[in-house]
Amino acid sequence: MAILLVVLAGCTPQGEGGGKTGRAEPMCPLKNQPVAAFQTALLELAFDAPASMPVVPHLKNRSRIQGTVVTACLKLGQPELVSRFIPDIGNWRRGMAYADMAVYCVEHDCHDVQPLLDLAAEIADTATQDWRRDRVRVRIAQAHALLGQSELAARFAADVEPSESGKLAGTAAAVGDDEAFDAQVAALDSLIAGGQFDVMKNALLSYTQVFDRHYDNTDRRKLIEKKIESGSATLPLVVRIDLMLKMAGFALEHRDPAGSLALVNTSQSLMDSAQWPARFGIPLRGRLAAMRFLAGDTAKARGDVDAALAEFDSQRDAIQSFDRGGVLRPLAEAYQQMGDAATALSIYRRAVEAGAVNPNLRPRTEDLSATCCSMAVHGVEPDEALWKRMHDIRRSLGQPQ
């Protein structure tokens, strides 16, 4: 779909500290995908909540929370909403939002994305730390790779911080031809062999995209799965489980529930091999249950999420107040995935209350925004009482406790 880039009057890109750079801001007026009105309202509340945080001294956390809302908007196909939000993001994450918007435009046939990429690069160059600049530049590189502009992609991804290296390889694999497979594997293996945690993690995440790209080739799929398993053997269990769940999701996209369930079972074995603090183990069990349900093992999935909820109830007082909302949200998402909207809503209500307890502004703001995003993405509509409660919490943000 061809779209027209327009200039939003009065808007100019801001640098790291929120200052103006003096250029007009072209935005991409893609039409939003159809969603329910309550989903839009939730996203608007999620983005509005951080506005309670003064720019000084809260710019970093304020912008980070706003960036997560942009991600949720794009998951739901709401680029017009993003175009309204971006001008209010004050630091380098504004550049990241432009780059994310550009990637979305490429993936949805918006080919004239160069102005967005130019703005992203300009803001990235104002970043006060190299890793911030490089995170945006790698995202720009991914957009160029999706456009088939391999030389530009390589230029933007060159000499980046170790924490960002290896990310481009997965995008390149997604658009590369079959003949490039051996070279891609060799490059990723080389990154993993270096032994640096961030580089290894990024390379393994890129390998999951190669797994998706070549899923229908059984030999290649099995080879990649083995490489991910062996390459991640020294990494923390939570990283290894994340990789397995990503592959399980790709298997479902390829209509292979049996393959997905096998990966879920591998993830479960990894989980069962260790003792987990409740704040980590409970949400992870919720994620596993949701994927297990999608893979067709519905009875065990329901039993697992019920057990995770029971564990939360028994361990609640041992979980810090600022962690409780984050522990509950994956359980609510799992119940919603299983078609139990009533239980999902009841857990979201508990998450809202849990997030409002902390006396500090940042965790209260972050929890409200995160719960709104989760409800929007997973299609859970608040009832009248919950809407009122969430808006009351929003009004209380920034006020003395």
> What DSSP letter does each residue of 57-80 carry, written as one string?
HHHHHHHHHHHHHHHHHHHTT-HH
The backbone torsions φ and ψ at residue 26, rounded to the nearest 5 degrees and listed phi first, read -75, 135
Q: Is the dihedral of CA 99, 101, 104, 110 positive or negative?
A: negative
Q: What DSSP element (H or E) covers 7?
A: strand 6-7
CB 7 within 8 A of CB 42: no
Q: What is the pLDDT at residue 111?
A: 61
Supply the mean pLDDT for the chain.
Answer: 89
286 pLDDT tier (thresholds 50, 70, 90): very high
DSSP 16: T
Burial class (CB in 10 A: 0-12, 13-18, 19+), 13: buried
- 11 pLDDT higher than 80: no
What DSSP string runs through 293-348?
A: HHTT-HHHHHHHHHHHHHHHHHHGGGS-HHHHHHHHHHHHHHHHHTT-HHHHHHHH
Neighbours of 129 (CB within 10 A): 11
Q: Rounded distance, CA 399 to CA 361, Å?
A: 9
- pLDDT tens for 88-145 read 998 999 999 999 999 999 988 866 789 899 999 999 999 888 899 999 999 999 999 9
Bigger pLDDT: 401 or 218? 218
- pLDDT tens for 34-93 read 999 999 999 999 999 999 888 888 899 999 999 999 999 999 999 889 989 999 998 999
- 251 pLDDT higher than 70: yes
Helices (H), ranges, 125-236: 130-146, 150-157, 167-175, 181-193, 197-213, 218-231
CB 331 within 8 A of CB 348: no
Q: What DSSP element (H or E) covers 357?
A: none
Lowest mean pLDDT among 87-91, 167-171, 189-193, 359-363: 167-171
Neighbours of 29 (CB within 10 A): 14
Residue from 150, 157, 102, 151 nearest 133 by CA: 157
- 3 pLDDT higher than 80: no
User: Interior CA angle at 158 toward 155 and 163, to 5°?
Assistant: 140
